[in-house]
């Protein structure tokens, strides 16, 4: 399923590496929700354990939307 997302979102489970001092307004693809305003853009990191080998990978997201109370987007989508 295509969520139409064009960037990563970092939530409470991500570690913030750097704040960019930039924000943006985020509109959802549903009229049921209002746009979210002044969302910080950050550099963040999270860990991923490979399913086949169990090897840990550190993933760095260069320009992620910081949704502090949201779950990790990658984990929620099985990545």
Q: What is the pLDDT along the chain (79 residues), one digit of tens a residue?
A: 455 567 888 888 889 999 999 999 988 777 787 888 999 999 999 998 998 999 999 999 999 999 877 655 556 666 5
SS3 74: helix
Q: How high is the pLDDT of residue 19?
A: 94
Q: How high is the pLDDT of residue 1?
A: 42
CA distance linking residue 52 with residue 77, whole number of Å: 17
Q: How high is the pLDDT of residue 12?
A: 83
The pTM for the full model equals 0.72
**Reading across the β-sheet that carries 36-49, which strands appear in turn?**
9-10, 56-66, 36-49, 15-26
Check the CA dihedral 67-38-19-7 and report its sign. Answer: positive
């Amino acid at each position: 399923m295509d969520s139409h997302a064009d960037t990563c979102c970092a939530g409470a489970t991500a570690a913030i590496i750097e704040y960019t001092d930039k924000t943006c307004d985020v509109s959802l693809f549903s009229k049921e929700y209002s746009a979210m305003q002044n969302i910080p853009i950050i550099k963040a990191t999270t860990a991923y354990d490979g399913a086949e080998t169990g090897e840990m990978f550190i993933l760095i997201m260069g320009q992620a939307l910081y949704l502090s109370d949201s779950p990790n987007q990658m984990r929620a989508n099985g990545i």
